[in-house]
Structure 1
Amino acid sequence: MSDWMVTEGSRPRRPRPLSPLREHLRDTFWFAPTAAMAGVFVVWLVAQELDAALVRSLRDQGDYETLSELLRFADDAKSVVSAVGSAMMTFIGVVFSISLVAVQMASGQFTPRVVRLFVRSRITKATFAVFLATFVLTLLVLTSYDSSTDPRVVTSVPLVQSVLTLVMVALSLLLFVMYVNTTLRLMRIGHVIARIAAESFRVAAAMPVPADGEGVPALGPVTAWVAHDGAAGVLRDVHVARLVRAARRHGVVLRLIPRTGDFVVPGTPVLAVHGGQAPPRRALRYALSVGVERTFHQDLGFGLRQLSDIALRALSPAVNDPTTAVQALDRVVQLLAALCRRPLDTVAHRDRRGAVRLVQAVPGWAELVDLGFAEVRGCAAGSPQVSRRMLAGLDDLERLAPPERREPLRRHRELVRQAVERTAPAPADRAFALRPDRQGIG
């Protein structure tokens, strides 16, 4: 709530469009380890040159005693480097095998979309990258050891390389601790739900807030249509600035037909043009980003969708965990409370002169309430803990919402009452299940 209150009084900046390349790299595991291994190879070349320069400097000075000491140090360090190299790959395999099993268990218990948090986790990729980079560095350093023990003919003493290897080992251990902590947090439902709620608040804060008296003007009849000509998939992102520029240059108003998160197929209309001809295809290139799954970037309903999935999974007979459902409902109520006075249904994007150039559809208040409560309500009748928490949340939202937005809340409250009456024939059980309680049963 605090983040929302900070942003409500000001006009937030437009969200930056998603970079398809950046999103692809964030959804893959190969880029960070590959870049780390290439980077550590460059660092090893630099360290090798520093070691060679150190040996040349000592030989030019005739300081063979120091060279002998460095050779003894390198001989001791070689055993450490060899041990690190032989143990690192085994360590990587065991750690990540256990982690993948843990993530699979979390996705089965909560929702499959939890895997997205693991795949896009920066600490996970950094740990994997540093582990592999340390292993590659140990192999490279082992090739730098000179077989000669005579300081007068030795060509290289991998002093800098050995110290660098020890630093990488220390960094690997530090990242391993952070990685374990992150993975354990991912398995705790409270942290997963809080992460989903935080992402949803960022989406709400990035939506433009109309000034007093501003609204979506009458657009007039549709003069042209723009069909989707790319691959089928989920609409993940809308490049607002590009569409506004194209509409301003051609003197038209564009209306986005699908909402962010809708599945679009080739040939279906995606933009309606009002007031003139459609902009050319080159002006609309890369304006819409389509992918295989939804993202939080501009999708206002995605957070509620995930919270509803978690609550439904928790209330299934296989899991039977009403406390998790209550935790999900806590965040559903929090999100709806932040949106209850927010202008919804449509968002108007204006150019620099204040003229509306793009109209974008977003979920309305009734749709958001249904998304947060409808499916959970169907499973809540047999769980007094969930029905009590849901009724308390609906009462709180009814106090916060303006009068014109209270009808969907009252409708869900009545449906909860009817469902409980059908499943609890005893009057005492019905009264207990229909008593609002913010903790469910406590």
Structure 2
Amino acid sequence: MSEQHGGKGRRPRYRALSPLREHLREAFWFAPLLTCLGAVLLAGLTDLLDREIFAEAAAEQAADTLLSFGSAAKSVVSTVSSAMLTFIGVVFSISLVSLQMAASQFSPRVLRLYVRSRLIKATFATCLATFVYTLLVQLGYDDTTDPARAVSVPIVSTVVALALVMLSLALFVLYVQATLRLLRVPHVIDRVTGESLRVLQDYRWLAPAAGPAPGGAAEGPTPLHEGPTLLHEGRGGVLRDVNIRRLIRVARRHGTVLHQVPRIGDFIAPGTPTVVVVGGTPPRPRRITTALNVGVDRTMHQDLSFGFRQLVDIAIRALSPAVNDPTTAVQAVDRIHQLLAVLAPVHLGELRHRDRDGAVRLVQPVPGWEATVDLAFTEIRGCGAGQPQVTRRLAAALDDLLRITPEPRRAPLLLQRALLERAVAEAVRDADNRAFALTPDRQGIG
């Protein structure tokens, strides 16, 4: 059973267990709001610098020079302010078109890649900040036409405004490039695979397993434990992630061990069992509910199966009669093959989280090896049985996994191989074509 950290006495180093950072990345409002607040502060700072640094120097300059520069600067900033609002509309329109194309071509579940993109958020936020900054700078300009009156010269404000425009243009070029990349299926598949691998690393599933050796014991859901069962008191929805640190603190305070009942990604409704309390005194159900993040869709934060789900969805959508793109399905199978190869030596079934004293406080169920293999191959096999490019790639993936998987864990792979042969036999009647469709090929048909 994989565990989150080393032996007793070592303080656990939870890298990504707190969901706050992930929730902020999922939110599109946070970065623009933060940069707009920064623009307000920057506008006040540059106005102060202009008044303090250049006011005395301005008094010694010719009046006509001051008035001419101030008028030109105000014209430039006013033009930037009005043009930037139109520019923001262009960026927003491109984003909407990209989201629509991604949802129709790949899967609605990959839209989260666009929402989480740091570059897209940075571009949109910088454009908004530039608009807010130039708007506030205009309010601070001195419109006096009295030559005898010393006025501040808005040199700093104008230079910063132009710098923000240059930055916005540079980010826009990168934004267009990133958007074009995200509209190409290989890059989307690669992003999903990379996030799945990071889930493995963040939760230390690749650390040496404690207990039975990989494949040496039965895997699956956490066995039932005796103890009070606490029920969900919040709204219904998909269990996106849990605040593991909070649950560990609750369990430590009550001297108990919490066994989480639903897996990450399960739908829970009010009254659904959430944890089984073993030992100690049961905490109030509300304290458990507040540590559960329930929403309308799944995230990759703590849900490795969601990575497989996205890859499988891309593959079966590509195999639909409306799309009929087996090459895309093969590209998805490539990455599924990669993820299963990483998981092959890893013992699945549950994760144990310890407190700072090394005591187990939270036990989380995770999908076992058999369930993961079924998720990876079942739907693709059913949709692609009549596509020799797909069946040849599936055969190559299964044969390769059979070579690297420990002997006790080969049964699900052997079953998938037999089911693949049966599905091809039903879809392809000709013996020669059937033999060709079952010949392993890492490229499908090249």
Output the TM-score relative to the length of structure 1. 0.89
Distance 1:232 1:18, change over 3 A: farther
Per the alignment, do residues 279 and 261 of structure 1 end up closer, same or farther by CA in structure 2, a change over 3 Å counting? same
Letter in 2 for 1:360: Q
From the superposition, tell whether residues 44 and 210 of structure 1 become closer, same or farther in structure 2 (CA, over 3 Å): same
What pairs up with 1:134-213 in 2 under 5 angstroms? 134-149=130-145, 151-208=147-204, 209=207, 211-213=209-211
- 2:369 aligned partner: 365
Question: Which residue matches 1:338?
Answer: 342
Quick one: structure 1 residues 34 and 9, their matched pair in 2 at CA, closer, same or farther if it must change by over 3 Å? Answer: closer
What's the secondary structure of 2:248's corresponding residue?
Answer: helix
8 A Cα contact 1:18 1:237, kept in partner: no
Tell me the distance in 1 between the aligned counterparts of 2:127 and 2:357.
53
Q: CA 1:122–1:426 in 2, change beyond 3 Å: closer, same or farther?
A: same
Instruction: Give 3-state SS (helix, strand or coil) of 1:267's partner.
Output: coil
1:107 aligns with 2:103: yes
Could you say if the C-alpha distance between residues 350 and 377 of structure 1 is closer, same or farther in structure 2, counting changes exceeding 3 Å? same
Quote the Cα distance in structure 2 between the aligned partners of 1:150 and 1:392.
83
Q: Which amino acid aligns with 1:63?
A: E
Q: Sequence identity of aligned pairs in percent?
A: 55
What is the CA–CA distance in structure 1 between the aligned matches of 2:428 and 2:194, rounded to whole Å?
37
**Residue 40 of structure 2: aligned partner:** 41
How far apart are residue 109 of structure 1 and its match? 0.4
**Superposed displacement of residue 90, structure 1:** 1.8
User: More deviation in 35-44 or 254-263?
Assistant: 35-44
Change (3 A) 1:28 1:284: closer
Bigger drift between 115-124 and 241-250 goes to 241-250
Counterpart of 2:227 in 1: which secondary structure? Answer: strand
**Closer, same or farther: CA 199–220 of 1 in aligned 2, 3 Å:** closer
- The answer to whether structure 1 residue 226 and structure 2 residue 230 are counterparts is yes
In structure 1, runs of 5+ residues without a counterpart are 1-6
Instruction: Kindly provide the amino acid, as one letter, of the partner of residue 233 in structure 1.
Output: G
Q: 1:345 to 1:25 in 2, by over 3 A?
A: closer
Counterpart code for 1:40: A
1:384 & 1:70 partners in 2: Cα distance?
77
Residues 36, 386 of structure 1: alpha-carbon distance in 2 compared, 3 angstrom cutoff = same
Say which SS state the counterpart of residue 200 (structure 1) adopts.
Answer: helix
Give the drift of 1:273.
Answer: 1.9
Relative to structure 1, the CA distance from residue 41 to residue 254 in structure 2 (aligned partners, 3 Å threshold; closer, same or farther) is closer
Moved more, 345-354 or 333-342: 345-354
Moved more, 151-160 or 191-200: 151-160
What is residue 17 of structure 2 aligned with on the other side? 17
Shift in Å at residue 207 of structure 1?
2.8
Which residue does the alignment assign to 1:303?
A: 307
Q: 1:54 to 1:236 in 2, by over 3 A?
A: same
Describe the superposition over 1:143-184 as per-residue Cα deviations: whole angstroms up to 9, x where unpaired: 344444554324232221111111111111111112112111
What is the aligned partner in structure 2 of residue 92 from structure 1?
Answer: 88
1:116 aligns with 2:132: no
| Residues in 1 aligned to 2:356 and 2:45: alpha-carbon distance in whole angstroms | 51
The answer to whether residue 391 in structure 2 is matched with residue 387 in structure 1 is yes
294 and 64 in structure 1: CA distance in 2 versus 1, 3 angstrom threshold = same
* Partner SS for 1:113: helix
1:25 deviation in Å?
4.2
Give the drift of 1:99: 2.8
Which has the larger displacement, 145-154 or 83-92?
Answer: 145-154
Take 2:384 and 2:90, find their aligned partners in 1: how far apart are those partners? Answer: 41
Q: 1:404 to 1:8 in 2, by over 3 A?
A: farther
| RMSD (Å) for aligned C-alpha atoms | 2.7
> Does 2:283 match 1:286?
no
* Conserved? CA contact 2:78–2:134, under 8 Å: yes
Tell me the alpha carbon deviations over residues 39-78 of structure 1, each in whole angstroms, 9 at most, x when there is no partner: 212211222222222443125xx6224x654443333333
TM-score calculated relative to the size of structure 2: 0.88
Shift of the alpha carbon at 1:396?
0.6
2:255, 2:73 → 1: CA distance? 71
Q: Which has the higher contact order (CA 8 A, sep 6+)?
A: 2
Q: Hey, what's the Cα distance between the residues in 2 that align with 1:381 and 1:300?
A: 26
Distance 1:373 1:84 in 2: 54
Question: What are the equivalent positions in structure 2 for 1:229-268 lying under 5 Å apart?
Answer: 229-268=233-272
Q: Using a 3 Å threshold, how does the CA distance of structure 1 residues 176 and 344 change in structure 2: closer, same or farther?
A: same
Q: What is the match of residue 4 of structure 1? A: none
